[in-house]
Amino acid sequence: MREKTTTYFHCLFLSFLTTSLSGQVISQELDNEIKRRVKLEINPSFSIGVLLPDGTAQFYGYGFYNNRKKKPDSLTLYEIGSITKTFTAKLASIYLKDSLNKPLSAFFGGIQNPKLDSITPYQLQNHIAGVPRLSNQFSPQNWSDPFNGYSNNILGKEMQELSLDNSTSWSYSNLGYAMLGRTIEIVSGKSYESLMGNLIEAIGMRNTIHSVPNQENQIVAQPTNFGTSNSNWNFTGPSRYEGGLISNTRDLIKYLKYQKQNNLLFTSDSLKNKIQTGVPNLGKDKLFYKDGWFVLKPDNTTNILLHNGGTGGFISFLGYNRNTEVGVVVLSNSVNVVDDIGINILYPSFTLNHPERTIAYELANLIDAENRDNLVNKFYILKSKDYPHNIIDVYWLERFHFGKGNYSVSDQLSEIMVKELPEDWEVHDIKGQNLEQLKNYKKAITAYEKALKLKPENKLLRDKIKSCTALHKGTTNQGSKPEQADN
C-alpha cells in the first residue's frame, strides 16, 4: 500500500469526487483490471454498486453471470456469504442489548459445558471469545455444500464439546456467529426467518432472500470456481447467521444507507475501542474490528468500515469510507477475493492486486475435459515452469470434487496438498477422508494418525481411526480363507 500525505489524499479525493459526480466512478486503471480478470475467467462476472455522498447510486456490470451470456445488473442475485454477519450483529444490538455481557450458560441451560460460563454474546459478536473458526466436530455430509443439513442439534453437540483458545486475541469464527444467532433466537423467541425477514423488510431490501432460489430463476448468478461450474451453498439451521443471505447490489446499497442512518459506527466517535485483528493482508496493523464490522485505517485520519464474504462459488465486498461518505458493493460469482477493487473505489490510492490464473484453473479444465489421470504429476510439471500456484485453490477444488463423490479426483488433489503442506494436520485429515471413501482403510488410518499427531486434542480424528480400524478388520476377515474343519 502506498502511503500518501493527508493533504495529497484530500486533493486526490476532491478530484475523484468531481469525476464521480459527473458519471465516472471507476477509474480507467480499475476498469482495465476488472476486464482483465473477466477475460481470464478469474471472475466471470462483477456487479458493482457505488453510493455517492449525495445519496445517489451508480451501478456497473461486467462479464456474464451464467452460461447463457447474461450480463449482470443491479438486480442480479449473488450469495453474499459472511456479509450476513453484519446483519446478525445488528440483530444482536437490537435483541441482546441488555444481555450482551451475560455468560452463554445463562441462555443454554441444557448444555453442561463450563466453557460457556466464560463466553458472552459481546465476545462472539467481536470474535474475541476464543471460539475456533469451525468446530472440531464439524463434519459436513457434503463438502461441496458444507452447511446444508446443519441444525440446532448439531450446534448443541458442538457447544457441548467446545474447547477454547485461551488467548484473548482476536480470532475470526464462523462457529461463534452461529452461536450468537442461536442466542438471539432464544432471547427473542423468534425464528431466523422472522428475525432476518423483519430486518430486511425494515430496510426495504425487497430482493434479498434467505435461501438459494430455483436455478430457473433468471437473475441468479451461476456459482463458479477456477473457471468451472460450482455448487450453491445452502445454509441451514444456525449456520444461516454466518453466511446465509443472497442479495444484489441494489439492495446492499440500501443497506449501506440504513447503516448510515442507524449505526453509530458509521457516524460517531465510537470506533475508539476497536479491536486490533493482527491480520496483515491490507497493511500491517491497519485492520481492526468493532461490533460486526472490520475497520481499515489506511492512514491516520481515514476510517473505512467493511466486510467481505465468500461461499463455494461467490465472493463479496461491502464498504463505506466515513471520511468521504462513499460506499461500495462488489459481487462476483467466483472465489477470487475482490477486496482490493472495493477499497480502491473507496480510497483511490490503494494498490490493486493483479491475480493470475493458478495451476488449479488448469487442473479444473483437465478434470472437466475428463483428463483426470496423473494430476499430481501435472501439478508439479506446471509448478516447475513457475506457473502461479496457490495451495488454497487446490483445497477448494479438492473439497468440491470430494463433495460430489469424485473420489479418484479428490484423492489426487489431496495428495498434492499433503506434499505441499506436510506439517498441516488438516491436509492429512482430508487425505484420510479420501482414502476412507476409496475403502483403503489401512492407508486412511495412517493418514488420520499423522493428523492426530499434529492435532492431538482433536477427538473426531480418534473416532475416525477407530471406525477405519473396525472397517479394515472387517474387510480383512472377509478376504481371508475359511478355516478347515477338524476331522
State the cell numbers at 429.
485429515
Same-domain status, 164 and 262: no
Picking from 331, 468, 278, 292, the residue whose alpha carbon sits closest to that of residue 47 is 331
**Structural domain contains residue 153:** yes
Among residues 321, 346, 371, the one where a domain terminates is: 346
Each residue's pLDDT tens digit, 220-232: 999 999 988 899 9
pLDDT at 284: 87
The CATH number that applies at residue 312 is: 3.40.710.10
Same-domain status, 340 and 282: yes
Among residues 162, 195, 228, the one where a domain terminates is: 195
**Structural domain contains residue 467:** yes
Same-domain status, 295 and 378: no
User: For residues 255 and 143, what is the distance between their CA atoms, to the nearest angstrom?
Assistant: 31
**Structural domain contains residue 376:** yes
Same-domain status, 184 and 221: no
Same-domain status, 220 and 340: yes
pLDDT at 478: 63
pLDDT at 217: 66
| Number of neighbours of residue 381 by Cβ within 10 angstroms | 12
Same-domain status, 335 and 375: no
pLDDT at 227: 87
Same-domain status, 224 and 328: yes
Same-domain status, 395 and 462: yes
Domain limits for position 37: 6-83+216-346
Each residue's pLDDT tens digit, 182-211: 999 999 999 999 999 999 999 999 999 998
pLDDT at 24: 65
Same-domain status, 334 and 368: no
Helices of type H across 371-458: 375-384, 391-403, 407-420, 425-437, 441-454
**Structural domain contains residue 144:** yes
**Structural domain contains residue 210:** no
User: For residues 30 and 46, what is the distance between their CA atoms, to the nearest angstrom?
Assistant: 12
pLDDT at 249: 98
Q: Which residues pair with 319 in a beta bridge?
A: 306, 328
pLDDT at 457: 86
Same-domain status, 186 and 266: no
Among residues 144, 165, 195, the one where a domain terminates is: 195
Q: State how many domains the chain has.
A: 3
The CATH number that applies at residue 418 is: 1.25.40.10
C-alpha dihedral (289, 290, 295, 300), degrees to nearest 10: -100
Same-domain status, 45 and 131: no
Q: Which residues of the chain have pLDDT under 70?
A: 1-24, 166-168, 215-217, 477-487
Q: Answer yes or no: pTM beyond 0.85.
A: yes
pLDDT at 167: 66
**Structural domain contains residue 354:** no
**Structural domain contains residue 483:** no
Same-domain status, 41 and 16: yes
Place of cell 447490489: 249
**Structural domain contains residue 352:** no
* SS3 letters across 239-292: HHHHHCCEECHHHHHHHHHHHHHHCHHHCCCHHHHCEECCCCCCCCCCEEEECC
Half-sphere exposure at residue 35, Cβ-oriented, CA atoms within 13 angstroms: 7
